[in-house]
Amino acid sequence: MSRASLKSLAIACVAIAPLWAHAQLTANVSLTTNYKFRGQDQDSGRNKAVKPALQGGFDYTFGDSGWYIGNWNSSVDWLPRNSLETDFYGGYKFKAGEVDLDFGALQYLYSGNSAGNTTELYGAATYGPFTAKYSHTVSKDYFNWAGEKAGSGLSGRNTGYLWLGFTQEVMPKVTVKASLGFTRFASDIKGLGVPNYMDYSVGGAYDFGDGVSLGAAVTGANKKSYFGDVNKARLIVTLTKTL
């Protein structure tokens, strides 16, 4: 390696050294009575209120730079030959006055059946207890509804999801949470007769300390006449440990 190359490498190492010095890794693991994604059960193999799922992942922040990456996983049962969802994401967080902004990308992967794989870009803004987040599908594949891997010849690109959330600590260790979401399908999916729908969640969480919390929420979605029991409201209880 030339002297100039070594000098460039040294400068690069010095530049990123502060990021690594203040980097922080956190991990989490959860056991939930039912995994719902955007109001829909992710275990369609059983028509029961209790469909336990094991979940967990990690988040890695690069110091105070605002950059982060992460991974999250959950057991699922809605695709043939698949029992695991694996998500990878990364993005950038920063402040604009009193508003916290977050922009990034997220890849959903389903081992054993790639027809469910989906890629989204997202942007979120938080002001006090309120958060608004929009996710936009950029892949042709969209959770087995459309795409080359699903074999439909259709595109799920431009499907959008708008999420509005409220989180507020109402007393020490007790937090109230509520959210409302809206899924707008791409025209190819809409052409199949699939309706846009809304999902909701109302509940709260108790912090036991040492990274242990217990949450409970009633979660569901409308348009049950089309989607069936997967959109049915469920009382979901989740025990989480953060490391």
Quick one: tokens of 82?
């698949």
In angstroms, the CA 110 to CA 139 distance is 15
What pLDDT was estimated at residue 2? 45
Model confidence pLDDT, tens digit, residues 60-105 = 999 899 999 999 999 999 999 989 999 999 999 999 999 999 999 9
Q: What value does the mean pLDDT take over residues 192-201?
A: 97
What pLDDT was estimated at residue 147? 87
Model confidence pLDDT, tens digit, residues 122-140 = 999 999 999 999 999 999 9
State yes or no: pLDDT of 41 exceeds 60.
yes
What pLDDT was estimated at residue 138? 98
State yes or no: pLDDT of 6 exceeds 60.
no
Residue 44's identity, in one-letter code, is: S
The CB density around residue 113, as the number of other CB atoms within 10 Å, is 16
In angstroms, the CA 235 to CA 220 distance is 9
- Domains of the chain from N-terminus onward: 25-242 (2.40.160.160)
Band of residue 22 on the pLDDT scale cut at 50, 70, 90: low
Contact 144, 79 (CB under 8 A): yes
Mean pLDDT highest for which of 8-22, 143-157, 228-242?
Answer: 228-242
Average pLDDT, the chain: 91
